[in-house]
Amino acid sequence: MTPSTTEPTAVDEETAAAPEASEPRRRRPRWQLVVAVLAAVFLVEATGVWIGSQLHDDSPGEHSVEAGFSRDMSVHHAQAVEMAEAVRASTTDPAIRTLAVDIDLTQQAQIGQMRGWLDVWGLPPTGRDLAMAWMGEPTSGLMPGMAGADELKRLHASTGTSGDVLFLQLMIRHHQGGVAMAQAVGPKARPEVRRLAAAIVTAQQSEIDAMTTMLKARGAEPLAPPKQDSGDESMPGMGHG
């Protein structure tokens, strides 16, 4: 077909129409831009929140030293509380009663402290590991220094000076075990856990000394200290005899 004279006109009209057709393209609605930017910002922020939570979620885990210490020491302390309660009401000796109240309330408060930590860490008081697995000595038996069922029965049944003596003997040995466990919290544990462990070591070592003096004043001797599989001779009050 030969080019007709109408074609240039048609082309002109097309070109004339073209700029009008492209104008809406340049006038993109502002709301689209705003929504797109907000969505992008939100996604970036959400990703940031997630990254932050991954970086900051350094709370002790199920098998950590902190969790094991908190769980085991809570059980260990609970027996000290039970023994102190057993003698507190029945003793006639004010010095023994004061000591019992002191141990009772201090260790019960420390149990609360450790349970609070576990709560914040999102861990239940019951662990999946055996006792003392966190310190390399897993056991399904009693923890160091703890009284057996028969010893507790005797303590609950005893009165007077013999009750005081049995209480002192059991509590000295109990403290020795507690000190060994607290000393097993290594330097890598969280600072607040190390602080409590160190406070337990200091306070209970001092109480061991005081109780040993009271015991000897009543004409009795301490029991054999708890056996230590590790054979660590550096622990005070842990003579092998």
Partner 1 sequence: MPANPSKPPTKAQNPAPKQKASSASERRAAAAKEQAERLRRERRKEIRRAALIAGGAAVALVVGVVVIISAAGGGSKGNSIPAGTKTFKTAARNHTEDPVTYPQNPPVGGPHFPVWQNCGYYSSAIKTEMGVHSMEHGAVWITYRPDLPADQVAKLQAKADSTYILVTPLAGIPTPVVASAWDHQLQLDTATDPRLDEFVRSFRQGPQTPEPGALCTSGNGQPE
52 binds partner 1 (CB under 8 A): yes
Backbone angles phi and psi of 186, in degrees to 5: -75, 180
Q: Considering only residues 75, 130, 133, 235, which one is a binding residue for partner 1 as defined by CB under 8 A? A: 75
Instruction: Look at phi and psi of residue 61 and say left if phi exceeds 0, alpha if psi is from -120 to 50, else beta.
Output: beta
Window 148-187: residues binding partner 1 (CB under 8 A): 149, 153, 156
Burial of 237 (0-12, 13-18, 19+ CB in 10 A): middle
62 binds partner 1 (CB under 8 A): yes
138 binds partner 1 (CB under 8 A): no
29 binds partner 1 (CB under 8 A): yes
DSSP per residue over 28-74, as a string? --HHHHHHHHHHHHHHHHHHHHHHHHHHH-----TTSHHHHHHHHHH
First to last CA, the chain: 122
Token representation of residue 213: 């003096």
13 binds partner 1 (CB under 8 A): yes
Q: Considering only residues 19, 26, 30, 32, which one is a binding residue for partner 1 as defined by CB under 8 A? A: 32
Which residues contact partner 1 by CB under 8 A?
Answer: 4, 6, 9-10, 13-14, 17, 20-21, 24-25, 28-29, 32, 35-36, 38-40, 42-43, 45-47, 49-50, 52-54, 57, 59, 61-62, 74-75, 78, 81-82, 85-86, 111-112, 115, 121-126, 128, 140, 142, 149, 153, 156
